[in-house]
Amino acid sequence: MPFHVSSQITNDVAKFTLIGELDAASAETFRAEIEKVAAQKPKRLVLMVKDLAFMASAGLRVLIFAKQKLGVEVPIYIVAPQEPIVDTLQKTGFHHSVHTISEYNDES
């Protein structure tokens, strides 16, 4: 399944929707979106990943880049990840740097 990313910022919350497979070929697209949004200095990053079936190490590197670019004070929420995504986050220890939740609303 081809990768697609869309983003929007509302009330200092950058919300991304990721669909498909985030691999080495698509990671640069995701990174470019992070760069664009980081310039607006959001206070929270929310990744809607319900329809993200796969994330390679290149995708994980973009998440690490996002954490560095936005700063440690900006929390990253990963919403409704499929089991392979959770597995990747746990095996690498990155699950300690993000908030994995089943659903997101503006009060989360």
Rounded to 5°, the CA angle 70-15-37 comes to 45
The pLDDT score that the predictor gives to residue 105 is: 84
pLDDT in tens, the chain (108 residues): 799 999 999 999 999 999 999 999 999 999 999 999 999 999 999 999 999 999 999 999 999 999 999 999 999 999 999 999 999 999 999 999 999 999 998 765
pTM: 0.93
Domains in the chain: ranges and CATH: 4-101 (3.30.750.24)
* DSSP per-residue letters across 22-85: E-HHHHHHHHHHHHHHHTT--SEEEEEEEEEEEE-HHHHHHHHHHHHHH-TTS-EEEES--HHH
